[in-house]
Amino acid sequence: MNRMNFSPASIRRCLRPVAAMLVLTSAAAHAEWPDKPIHLVVPYAAGGGVDNIARIVTPPLAKLLGQPVIIDNRPGANANIGSEFVAKAPADGYTFLVGATFLAANRASMTGLAYDSVRDLTPVARLGRSPSVLVVSASLPVRTVKELVDYAKAHPTEVSYASVGAASPNALIFNRNTGIQPVPVLYKGGGQAMPDLISGRVTYMLGVVSEALPNVQGGKLRALAVTGTERIRHLPNVPTMAEAGVANLATAGWWGVFAPAKTPAAINEKLSAAIEKVMRQPDVIAAMDLLSIDASYQGVAAFGDFYKSEMTFFDETSKTFDLKQKVSP
C-alpha cells in the first residue's frame, strides 16, 4: 500500500481555498446585517436628554441602514434597568443602548449591579457632548450663584436639588465647593425633574443644557451658570462656574451608542460608520445645536479610550465623596 507524503507547502496550498471560503462566508454574513429592525434602548423616560438625542439620530440612521430603528424606552433604577437589558441581550447586532455619563457614574457609585458597564458593554460611537447648566425656578428670588448659595445657607432645611442618580459629580462638587448641604431628590430622568423645578418644589438642578434650555428660553427657569471652560452660544449672558466663583466644574455630559459585549466587531464598525455619516448631516448638527449639544462623533477606538477616561474620573469622584452604596435587589 502506497503512502502519500505531503510537504508543508502542499498542505498550505490545499488549505488556501478552504480558508478563503471561510473568510468569504463570514464577510457575507456580516454584509447581510441588518436584515431586520434594530432596537435602540433608551434607559430613561421619554422627553429627557438621552431620549431627545435618540429621536434626532434614529430617522436618518434607519434610512442609511435600510431597516427601521426602533426606540425602546426602559426607564428605572437610575438607568440600570435598560442598561442591564442590553448588557444581557443577544449579541446579534439588533439591540443597542443609548448610553451616557450615567454608565460611569452608576458603576462608580453602586455595588451589586447585575451588569458591568465595562465588561458587558462595548462602546460603538459617541454622539455628542454638552455642558451642564445650573437652573432654578424663575419664581425663586435668586439671580446669581452667590445669591443661591446665600439663600441655601439661610434656609438649610428647605433647599433641595434634583439629581438623576446619586453620583452626580457636578452637583456634589458644587455643593462641596460652595459649602451648602441641600437635600438630593432623585429622578428617573432630567425631563421628569422639570415640573418640580418650575414649580419650586425642588430648589435647583445642575443638569445638561439640552433638558433645561427650552424652559429657560420660555422664562420658566432661570440659568445661573454653566460648566465648561467657556460660555455657550444659546446662553451668552450666563457665566461659567469659574466666572461665578466655583472652581473645578469644567466637565461636560456625553451620549453614545453601546452594544452587548460579544457583538461582532464588524457589525459595531458598520454601525459606527453609519452613525458618523448621520452626525455629519447638517440637519442633524442643527437639531443637536438647538439643544446646545455638540455633535462630536467618535468611532469605536476613540470612544473606547474616552470611555475609559470617564470611568477613571468617576471612580476617583466616588472615592472622594465615599459614594459606594449597595443596590437594592
Q: What CATH number does the domain containing 76 carry? A: 3.40.190.150
Question: What is the structure's pLDDT at 25?
Answer: 45
Task: Give the DSSP letter of residue 324.
Answer: -
Helix, strand, coil abundance in the chain, percent, nearest 5? 45, 20, 35
Contact 80, 113 (CB under 8 A): yes
In a domain, 245, yes or no: no
Mark whether 184 and 172 lie in a shared domain: yes
Q: Which residues contact 178 (CB under 8 A, 6 or more apart)?
A: 145, 149, 152, 246
* Structural domain ending residue among the three candidates 226, 241, 273: 226
Place of cell 450663584: 145
Mark whether 135 and 219 lie in a shared domain: yes
Mark whether 83 and 166 lie in a shared domain: no
Q: Which of 129-133, 164-168, 324-328 has the highest mean pLDDT?
A: 129-133
The mean per-residue pLDDT over the stretch 174-178 comes to: 92
pLDDT at 31 over 60: no
Mark whether 136 and 216 lie in a shared domain: yes
Arithmetic mean of pLDDT over the chain: 88
In a domain, 25, yes or no: no
Mark whether 222 and 272 lie in a shared domain: no
Range of the structural domain that residue 166 is part of: 131-226
In a domain, 144, yes or no: yes
In a domain, 294, yes or no: yes
Q: Please state the domain count of the chain.
A: 2
In a domain, 140, yes or no: yes
Mark whether 125 and 260 lie in a shared domain: yes
Q: What is the CATH number of the domain that holds 220?
A: 3.40.190.10
Least confident of 69-73, 229-233, 282-286, 321-325: 321-325
Mark whether 112 and 44 lie in a shared domain: yes
pTM over 0.85: no
In a domain, 19, yes or no: no
Cα–Cα dist 120/93, whole Å: 14
Mark whether 99 and 143 lie in a shared domain: no
pLDDT at 81 over 50: yes
In a domain, 241, yes or no: no
pLDDT at 268 over 90: yes
Residue-wise pLDDT for 15-26, tens only, equals 565 555 544 444
Q: Which residues contact 82 (CB under 8 A, 6 or more apart)?
A: 41, 42, 43, 44, 72, 73, 74, 75, 76, 97
Mark whether 46 and 97 lie in a shared domain: yes
Mark whether 146 and 75 lie in a shared domain: no
Mark whether 105 and 141 lie in a shared domain: no
Mark whether 209 and 171 lie in a shared domain: yes
In a domain, 1, yes or no: no
